[in-house]
Amino acid sequence: MSNLTATAVANANLAFVKYWGKRDDALRLPTNNSISMTLSAAQTRTKLIFESALDADHVYLAPENRLASPGFTARVSAHLDRFRDLAGIRRYAEIRTMNTFPAGVGIASSASGFAALTLAASAALNLHLSERQLTVLARLGSGSACRSIPSGWVEWVAGEDSESSFAYSFAGPDHWPIRVLSVIVAQEEKQISSTDGHALTRRSPFFSARLETLPARLEAVRRAILERDFVTFGQEIEQEALSLHMVAMTSPLETGGAWQSGAYYWTPATLELLLAVQQWRRDGVPVYFTLDAGPTVHLVCPESAVGDVRSAVAGLQARQPGRAWQVLENQPAPGASLVASPA
Ligand code: DP6
């Protein structure tokens, strides 16, 4: 058998209408459609080799080349099984994967990770899958990963079953020069994973209220993107992010043996930024925020306002000495792709 290897890159994506709650946990079928932008500054690169000599899958995290945890390796192996079944082979793989950004801080590394793994596995095994099929497979690894396969502005259709729950690009990366400044205010891994957060949603009395608002919001956000209507877009996405956190913060759970009233993903710096954004708009800066399941605040603005937003963030950061915030500047990016010469 020829050399079964491929290297793929995929970027993380930022949802403006969020995936929060599943209809089917095993198939990762979401309760609602979601809309995202692929992020240029947050990329995963994954090299995969299926080798007959291996007795298990080995996942190495570059650049340190340390072995991944058993839990993560098991999730990767379960994903590779889908491709081994399709190709009818039983070889294990060596996987080397690297992120250009920190994990667990509100930028979904599972999205870029499982998208890159999906494309690399499909190419290494010569499966010749369509983009839609790739998004379906990526979704089974991590829901949001399906939105990291297509390019630019992407919608994930909730669907009825596995085959009809897929993602597609409705506008390319050059459609609208929006910038996202992702302000990483804390580097620690969050306490409650997205996967756990999804499972908690039904405990919130506000989850059904959120679902009722979503069809109209989805239409409004898609239309605002297509018409490049920044004000409507900004107002909708800011309310949408708060709607997710309203559900999260009112989904009770047990942590460390004690009852907790909800999943809190914010730090004090998160709230400080959310309030500052309101002031910056009063000062005439066109900027809105969105948040995922983490403390990172994503500041969304037109390309022309990047300088103002950058200095506003620097001013806020300087107010308290010792703050080590990291800012990633993103623009809409292409979808997942293969790398011709493996590193
Ligand atoms: C808050 O895709 O990480 O980022 O399917 O369990 O792997 P799993 O969840 P994941 O959830 C992402 C949630 C979110 C919102 C979003 O990206 O739409």
Mutate to test the pocket of ligand 1, among 155, 194, 246 (most ligand atoms within 8 A of CB): 194
| Mean pLDDT, all residues of the chain | 95
pLDDT digits (tens, 9 = 90+) for 183-201: 999 877 778 989 899 999 9
Q: Is the CB of 15 inside a 6 Å radius of any atom of ligand 1?
A: yes
CA of 260 to the centre of ligand 1 (A): 22
Give the Cα separation of 264 and 60 in Å (integer). Answer: 31
Residue 104 pLDDT exceeds 60: no
Check pocket membership of 167 for ligand 1, CB cut-off 6 A. no
Return the structure tokens found at 209.
């209220």
Residue 3: both structure tokens together: 């050399």
Q: Which of 71, 126, 109, 116 is nearest to 95 (CA)?
A: 116
Q: What is the pTM of this model?
A: 0.96
Q: For residue 105, is pLDDT > 60?
A: no
pLDDT value at 168 more than 80? yes
Buried b (16+ CB within 10 A) or exposed e, 315-330: ebbeeeeeeebebbeb
What DSSP string describes 43-59? EEEEEEEEETT-SS-EE
Residue 287 has pLDDT above 60, yes or no: yes
Q: What is the pLDDT of residues 258-278, one digit of tens each?
A: 999 999 999 999 999 999 999
**Which residue minimizes the CA distance to atom 4 of ligand 1?**
292
Q: Which helix (H) or strand (E) holds 166?
A: none
Residues 29-58 have pLDDT tens digits of 999 999 999 999 999 999 999 999 999 999
Largest CA distance in the chain: 64
Tokens of 23: 């209809």
For 238-260, what is each residue's pLDDT tens digit?
A: 999 999 999 999 999 999 999 99
Query: What pLDDT, on a 0 to 100 scale, did the predictor assign at position 106?
Result: 53
Ligand 1, atom 14: closest residue by C-alpha:
292
For position 46, what pLDDT does the model report?
A: 97
**What is residue 102's predicted lDDT score, i.e. its pLDDT?**
66
Measured between alpha carbons, how far is 103 from 169 in angstroms, rounded to an integer? 25
